Structure 1
Amino acid sequence: MLDDFLVRAVLGAVGVALAAAPLGSFVVWRRMAYFGDATAHAGILGVALALALNVPVMAGTLAVALAMALLVARLSGRGYGSDMLLGVTSHTALALGLVAASLVAGARLDLNAFLFGDILSVGKDDLVVIWGGGALVWALLLWRWQSLLTATVSPDLAWASGIDPKREERVLILALAVVVAVAIKVVGALLIGAMLIIPAAAARSLARTPEQMALAAGGLGVLAGLGGLWGAWEFDTPAGPSIVCAAAAIFAVSLLFRKG
Structure 2
Amino acid sequence: MAGWLDSVKSTLYGGLHSSIIDLGGAECAHHIPFWVKITESVGVIIYAAIVIAWTAKKVTYVTDEDVLVMRARDIRVGSGCRSVMLMILALVFGMELSYKVVIGRLLFVMNPCHVITITQLCLLCVVPSKLSVAVFRVMIHNLFGAFLGLLFAATTGRQLPGQVSVYWAQHLLICIIPMYMIYSWGPQCLEPLSDWSWARISLVVFGLYHHHILLPLAELTHVNLGFMLCPPSSDPIGGPYYRIIYTILMSILGLTIGKLYTATYFCLANQFSIKNKEN
Greater C-alpha radius of gyration: 2
More helix by share: 1
Q: TM-score, normalised by structure 1?
A: 0.28
